[in-house]
Amino acid sequence: LKSAPLLPKKSSRSSVTLKWCTPKTNSSHELQTCVGTFLVTPTEVNSRPAACLTMFLLQGRTVMLEGQKKSGGKVMTHMLSSHGG
């Protein structure tokens, strides 16, 4: 899995590093109820991780964002999906 900051390092905002993964077809218990839809845009569009993620989504695949729990475990925090390209 590749990880990249959500915001460029020169930004005055704090950044978060997330890893992305594809959900397993038999683990629908990881998919939570959708509570909202949001427009997202990569901050570094020419970076390899952003290009790979964008192409993955445009091919109709779903991507889960994985964050770290304070206890050290992993948690799926968000689901990304492209609607209409």
pLDDT per residue, tens digit, the chain (85 aa), is 455 555 455 555 555 566 777 766 655 555 566 777 877 778 788 889 888 888 888 888 888 887 777 787 777 777 888 877 6
Whole-model pTM?
A: 0.58
Question: What is the CB neighbour count within 10 angstroms for residue 4?
Answer: 18
Q: Where are the domains positioned within the chain?
A: 45-85
pLDDT of residue 13: 53
Question: Residue 84 has which token pair?
Answer: 């209409």
Q: What is the dihedral of CA 43, 53, 75, 9, to 10 degrees?
A: -20
Question: Which residues are bridge partners to 68 per DSSP?
Answer: 74
pLDDT of residue 80: 83
- Sequence-separated (6 or more) residues with CB below 8 Å from residue 25: none
Q: What is the CA radius of gyration of the chain?
A: 13
